[in-house]
Amino acid sequence: MLLTLFGVSFLVFAAFEIIPGDPAISKLGTDATPEMIAALREQMGLNRPFIVRYFDWLGDCIRGDFGRSYSYNRTVISMIGDKLPITVTMTIISMLLVIAVSIPVALLLAKYMGSTIDRAGYISNQILMAVPSFFLGILITYIFGLTLRFFTPGGYISYRQNFAGFIGYLLAPSVAIAIPKCAMSVKLLRSAILEEWNKDYVRTAYSRGNSTMQVMYRHVLKNALIPLITFWGMAVADMIAGSIVVEQVFNIPGLGRILLTSISNRDYPVVEAIILLIAVVVIVMNLIVDILYRCIDPRISK
Amino acid sequence: MLLEIKNLTIEFHDHDRPERVVEDVSFSLDKGEILGIVGESGSGKSMTALAVAGLLPRKKMEKSGEILFEEKNLLTLPRHDLRGLQGDEISVIFQEPMTALNPTMKIGKQVEEALLLHRHMTDEERKAKVMEWLEKVELDDSERVYEAYPHELSGGMRQRVMIAAAMVSDPQILIADEPTTALDVTVQSQIIKLLLKINKDSGVSILFISHDLSLIKQITHNVIVMQKGRIVEQGDTDEIFLHPKEEYTKKLISSIPSVDLRK
Amino acid sequence: MAFIKSIKKIFNKYHGFNFNAGLVITGLIFIIALVGCFYTPYEPTAMNVSIRNTAPSLAHIFGCDDSGRDVFSRVMEGIRNTFFISTMTVLIGSGFGIILGAAAGYYGGKFDEILMRINDALFAFPSVLLALVIVSLLGPGFLNVTVALGIAFIPSFARIVRSGFKSQVNMDYVQSARLMGAGDLRIIFVHILPNILPVLMSSVMIGFNNAVLAEAGLSYLGIGVQPPRASLGLMLKDGQALLATAPWNALFPGMVIVLMVLGFALLSEGISEAS
């Protein structure tokens, strides 16, 4: 796992090394004299060998020092630290929505297996899975923001000003991020339940006098959730990526906006830091999934 | 008479043409009796057993006749009342101990489930009862088994667990649907001995389903021979094995590998 | 030959609802894309100030945008561009993915180990994000987005192909082909590849599905297809500003994206259902 992180950090650093374009030039502008550029390169430490700079950078990152932004006179950590709570909150709300909605819906569809409800559920699931979350965001803005006026599009409220208002404003984008993942969870969970339902232990449970509801909740649900855990773990990374785009729809100044401005400004320290951060999140999620697996499925343990 | 089956007929309706899997089957089971049902696959023996256990689906299937237990017809009994009997008065053990247990539930929880559903007991009383039965089915180290998950046990141990889970509520009828088919020969004979002992100690009636005539001969008092959904012959086990009347029974008996000669 | 035969087999095998519905939707969109190469009702870039932001009508069935351009014609061009980009993406992704995955799965050993380590590291990233990073290295634009997405899609294809090869490489038919003196390349492409084709086909469809989504996302962020070229994502971005006055600018391109993604998803579903 640490090896993966090491690999990612190396790839990130190397990738930004091989690109054309000198950050010293882009910082000073094209009319800078060669002497000025050389001086700045020296000051930024760009003249040392690649490997040395990599380990320096990695060591700094581990200590929580991601360097200074090329474009703004601020440390990267202060730029990101500000915005991180926004993206994190949005991802958490989306994840909670996915779990809270998909389990009951999948149970409902499995209960009415083969009926009209099930077919309608299947079709709407397929459609919802195909809607990109930024288009959902636009639809939500159009329907609930502009037509029904439940919220003011673009009226982001900072968590420092009003925390309740902040959560309230994040609700709409979170729903937009959650819906496609939710549809996919429902589909996976429904088929997992049906698969479990054909297993022998279900008959055993019935033979002890369990009702259908009891068989579902005491026996089947836990087994059916096992494949879902992997999916949810992977969905977190997707949701962070989705939030970068959806932030633009709702005009939220989160990680996505810094990432985009940094990309267009060629502000590499910031881009590197964000990528690395997301990599850490992904790896930590894998770890959590692993631990959850061990808790829910006794067959996997060393 | 504990259980009486009268003219049981079962038809599947999920294909174009209805398919009769059990036709006009009648027999009875006395208290403490071990009754064997023997037949090849497709003879309807398992269907009959599942019908008695109330485990056949209600849809896509038509059942007629009567299954009388304590003056109640299990075929027409409301679902809720049927559930009250399942696992309490009528218990089942299945062929595949590997898959018949819930893989993510501790053994103790699975064994105590019938008590949880049918009896009002404190946690301590339940655990005591479960431990008692884990010991009765001759599981060593019953404390460890109580906390174990199914995958940590061997096939023979799991079948013992199944028996404990079926017997924990002191049922009157135990339906054993090919309980030893999936097991090694040595384990098989241990399980058979265990079932005989339980029958003797607790007086539970056993409906023993098997395709294995030599097993049936060893353990049952009475036997029913089935073919293509119908009863071919029924009666006292020793009598039938000595003097089979029907051609089909004779053929079956002659095909037994002669276990007795090897002894 | 074996290759074509197994593709034929796949098509003969699938007649499910999902597969047919997917085929109809994708076919329809493909035809629109094809027609869009030669004919659009109006010039997609032709501006006409007198019909700015007019609502859908018979003459302009999807309405007009704020420069008076015909939205339907622009959607046609957008579909064409999206189709092109996603096809190239899937070709690059699956091409390199097959080569890398087949080599890793077939030869195994150190090479497999190293390749899969790198692959795991990349796979951990959502492909949109990976493409975003690559675009930031290459700079925005039509071709760069295609390349970026193609590269971003290699890991997932490599992973699928590798596990397919891993499961086949020790089978009897491979051993007997080897005994008969078939070379590695022949075994990889003639013997094993057709056997993992159903899995591969299904993931190619998912690949299309994801490529359409990713392209739309990148264009929406303004780093994909650049104006004045039309792209569905770009139209959504521009249309969002007009949501209050001329919602058709965003709604129609969005719905077309949904249809495209849906079509590919149903196809993939239909293929994996039948195998």
The DSSP secondary structure of chain C, one letter per residue, reads -HHHHHHHHHHHH--SHHHHHHHHHHHHHHHHHHHHHH--SS-TT---GGGTTPPP-SSSTT-B-TT--BHHHHHHHHHHHHHHHHHHHHHHHHHHHHHHHHHHHHH-HHHHHHHHHHHHHHHTS-HHHHHHHHHHHH-SSHHHHHHHHHHHHHHHHHHHHHHHHHHHTTSHHHHHHHHTT--HHHIIIIIIGGGGHHHHHHHHHHHHHHHHHHHHHHHHTTSSSPTTS--HHHHHHHHHHTTTT-THHHHHHHHHHHHHHHHHHHHHHHHHHH-
Q: What is the pLDDT of residue B262?
A: 42
- Which residues 186-245 on chain A approach chain B with CB closer than 8 angstroms? 199-201, 203-211, 214, 218-219, 222-223, 226
Task: Provide the token pair at A201.
Answer: 């232990």
A191 shares a domain with A50: no
Structural domain harbouring B38: 1-89+212-263
A47 shares a domain with A106: no
Is the residue at B77 inside a domain?
Answer: yes
A264 shares a domain with A130: yes
Q: What is the pLDDT of residue A95?
A: 92
Is the residue at A70 inside a domain?
Answer: no
Highest mean pLDDT, choosing among A60-69, B43-52, B250-259, C115-124: B43-52
Indicate whether A98 pLDDT > 90. yes
Residues of A in Cβ contact (< 8 Å) with B86: 206-209
**Number of CB pairs, chain A paired with chain C, less than 8 A apart:** 114
Helix (H, G, I), strand (E, B) or coil at A141: helix
Q: What is the pLDDT of residue C3?
A: 63
Partner residue facing B104 (CB), from A208, A211, A222: A222
Residues of C in Cβ contact (< 8 Å) with A19: 137-138
Is the residue at A72 inside a domain?
Answer: no
- Determine, for residues A248 and C125 on separate chains, whether the beta-carbon distance falls below 8 Å: no
Give the residue-averaged pLDDT of A228-234.
87
A197 shares a domain with A133: yes
Partner residue facing A126 (CB), from C122, C137, C266: C266
Is the residue at B2 inside a domain?
Answer: yes
Is the residue at B220 inside a domain?
Answer: yes
A58 shares a domain with A139: no
Indicate whether A187 pLDDT > 60. yes
A297 shares a domain with A154: yes
Is the residue at B137 inside a domain?
Answer: no
Give chain A's domain count. 2
A164 shares a domain with A274: yes
% of chain A surpassing 90 pLDDT: 18
CATH value at residue B53? 3.40.50.300
A124 shares a domain with A89: yes
Is the residue at B201 inside a domain?
Answer: no
For residue range B91-130, list pLDDT tens digits in order.
999 988 888 999 989 999 999 999 999 988 889 999 999 9
DSSP-assigned letter for residue C39: -
Give the residue-averaged pLDDT of A267-276.
81
Structural domain harbouring A28: 2-62
% of chain B surpassing 70 pLDDT: 97
Instruction: Characterize C184-204 residue by residue with b for buried, 16 or more Cβ atoms within 10 angstroms of its Cβ, and e for exposed.
Output: eeebbeebbbbbbbbbbbbbb
Is the residue at A69 inside a domain?
Answer: no
Determine how many CB atoms are found less than 10 A away from the CB of residue B261. 6
Q: What is the ipTM of this complex?
A: 0.88
% of chain A surpassing 70 pLDDT: 91
Give chain B's domain count. 1
What is the maximum span of chain A, computed from C-alpha positions, in angstroms? Answer: 87
Is the residue at B52 inside a domain?
Answer: yes
DSSP-assigned letter for residue B178: S
Q: What is the pLDDT of residue A27?
A: 64
Is the residue at B257 inside a domain?
Answer: yes
Residues of C in Cβ contact (< 8 Å) with A8: 121, 124
A191 shares a domain with A55: no
A268 shares a domain with A203: yes
Is the residue at A232 inside a domain?
Answer: yes
Is the residue at A279 inside a domain?
Answer: yes
Residue of C97 and A294 predicted with greater confidence: C97
**How wide is the angle at C-alpha C77 spanned by C-alphas C74 and C82, nearest 5°?**
120
Q: What is the pLDDT of residue C10?
A: 62
Is the residue at B60 inside a domain?
Answer: yes
- Determine, for residues A201 and B100 on separate chains, whether the beta-carbon distance falls below 8 Å: yes
Q: Find the closest chain A residue to C206 by CA distance.
A: A130
A273 shares a domain with A127: yes
Is the residue at A43 inside a domain?
Answer: yes
Indicate whether B230 pLDDT > 80. yes
Q: Which of A15-19, A168-172, A240-244 has the lowest mean pLDDT?
A: A15-19
Q: What is the pLDDT of residue B263?
A: 41
CATH value at residue A275? 1.10.3720.10
Q: Mind listing the pLDDT tens digit of every residue in chain C (275 residues)?
A: 566 666 666 666 666 778 888 888 888 888 888 887 777 777 777 777 777 777 777 777 777 777 777 788 888 888 888 888 889 999 999 999 988 888 888 887 788 888 877 777 777 677 777 788 788 777 777 888 888 888 888 888 888 888 888 888 778 887 888 888 777 888 888 778 888 888 888 888 888 888 898 888 888 888 877 777 788 888 888 888 877 777 888 888 888 899 999 988 888 888 877 76
For residue range B38-97, list pLDDT tens digits in order.
988 888 888 899 999 988 877 778 888 889 988 888 888 888 898 999 989 999 999 888
Task: Provide the token pair at C21.
Answer: 């519905």
